[in-house]
Structure 1
Amino acid sequence: MKVLAIESSAVTASVAIMTEDTLIAEYTINYKKTHSQTLLPMIDEICRMTETDVSDIDIVAVSDGPGSFTGLRIGAATGKGIALAKDKPMVAVPTLEAMAYNLMGDKRLICPVMDARRQHLYSGLYRFDAEKLEIIHEQCLISYQELVDILNAQDEEVVFVGDGIDVAGDYIKDNLKCRYSFSKPHIKTQRASSVALAAIYMAQEGKTINSDLMKPDYLRPSQAEREHNK
């Protein structure tokens, strides 16, 4: 099974080609460029460098949220365009689950955190039992205080991953009572290889979809929708 994976849920843009046992290529940029500028050239580059014809891809996997509304839309549109053109199935990978795969094999409680602004995070809680990802707390929009309260109640060692560390790190340090650590830079941000790995496991469980069913999971209305509903 050969997977083309796309990650564009935050500032990081990342694409990867992976099989069950080999990461063939991964291209990641964590810089202030729009995903509309980067994703297709990045996909073209890894396909060219690995002599991969997109027609040889079996599954197109996309990180489907939560995250940046614009980034998620661009990633979904890019993946859908490729899948539709080549008649390939897709896997919609929850972003926070994919981030947990950055730490596959870690025995601690895994807490991905993404900045959702206004003292809120997108977060969830996960644990690995061998290669199986267990969901302890479904991904959600949550305040700093609510997350800390949940973790203090869990009372076990936790490792954080994600850009939410940058904005909520001081609050966590001041209020979390259990043992914790923050992921190092090489695994802190979103990675397409983790999206691909999660997608392989999901595909093995039959969790593929047609491209017309692919849509981002924002977890909350956009600012425009919130303004409209006032």
Structure 2
Amino acid sequence: MLLLSIDTSTTVCSVALHRAEAGATSATLLGAYELFTERTSSAMLTTLMGDVVRQAGFDLSDLSAIAVAKGPGSYTGLRIGVSTAKGLCFALDKPLLAVNTLRAMAEQVRRLMPLGEKAPLLCPMIDARRMEVYCALYDKAGREVKLTAAEIIDEQSFAEWLAEGPVVFFGDGAAKCRPVLGLHPNALFPDEPIRPSARTIGQLAFHQFEAGRFEDVAAFEPFYLKEFMTTQPKKVVV
């Protein structure tokens, strides 16, 4: 199995290539490219995909499937990533896999957390606007215990969870929440930034591939979570 993964759900543009032999319980990372500059997805995504496959010694036709971060996240970024993945699936006649961006972010941190009884809950956050974030809560096993939602953060946010134990807040949305939630003794904020990555998308997509959980390529749409907000003025008919 050879799996190409794409994540353009935030300002990060990343691609990764994983391979797994028959009977394997996990996939091996063969290569990855990540760019952390603004507005790189539309210009560089196709180039990065071709490079990571070619540098690993394969052709796009060798791929078994394409995986994409489905959101939530940037409307424009998600549209670029999903349309590129779908186009590749159509062109190569390959199946499509989709992974929740927040779930993948939580997996990055989960692997570093203690597995004891007091393991903290994980709260990945993607910046939306003002004091709003896209977020969810995951336990030490990676199970979603609070559904993905758009939340406006104030002093009472996550109060019931923080009262029960520690919660780790991370992602680009966590930085603006730290002044509001950071005074609570159970609110933890890593110093190192945690960004969405196609590396983790590929790891999770491998298990979906093994389970046969594929998307309908024609019907699949990004998980925008909210309606796209335009700043263009409405037309006035006189």
TM-score using structure 2 length? 0.86
Matched length: 221
In structure 1, C-alpha distance between the alignment counterparts of 2:160 and 2:44, rounded to whole Å: 37
Give the aligned partner of residue 164 of structure 1: 173
Q: Secondary structure at the match of 2:214?
A: coil
* TM-superposed deviation, 1:225: 9.9
* Higher helix proportion: 1
By how many angstroms is 1:204 displaced?
2.5
The aligned residue for residue 22 of structure 2 is none
Q: Does 1:192 align with 2:198?
A: yes
Q: Cα gap change, 1:179/1:140 in structure 2, threshold over 3 Å: closer, same or farther?
A: closer
In 2 relative to 1, CA 121–226 (structure 1 residues): closer, same or farther, beyond 3 Å?
farther
Aligned pair 1:148/2:158, yes or no?
yes
Q: Does 1:202 align with 2:214?
A: no
What RMSD over aligned residues (CA atoms) do the two structures have, in Å? 2.0
SS in structure 2 at match of 1:213: coil
Whole-Å separation in 2 of the counterparts to 1:180 and 1:162: 12
What TM-score do you get using the length of structure 1 for normalisation?
0.88
> Residue 178 of structure 1: which of 183, 186, 204 is its match?
186
Query: Is 2:137 aligned against 1:125?
Result: yes
5+ long unaligned stretches in structure 1: none
1:90–1:214: 8 Å Cα contact kept in structure 2? no
Q: Which residue of 1 aligns with 2:67?
A: 61
SS in 2 for 1:147: coil
Shift of 1:210: 3.0
Give the gaps of 5 or more residues in structure 2.
20-25
Q: Which has the larger radius of gyration?
A: 2
Deviation at 1:148? 3.2
Aligned to 1:12: 12
Report sequence identity in percent: 30
1:50 is matched with which residue?
Answer: 56
Whole-Å separation in 2 of the counterparts to 1:184 and 1:9: 20
Tell me, yes or no, if the aligned pair for 2:27 and 2:203 is still in contact at 8 Å: no
Shift of 1:38: 1.5
CA change 1:49–1:182 in 2 (3 A) is same
Give the conservation status (yes or no) of the 8 Å contact 2:182–2:189: no
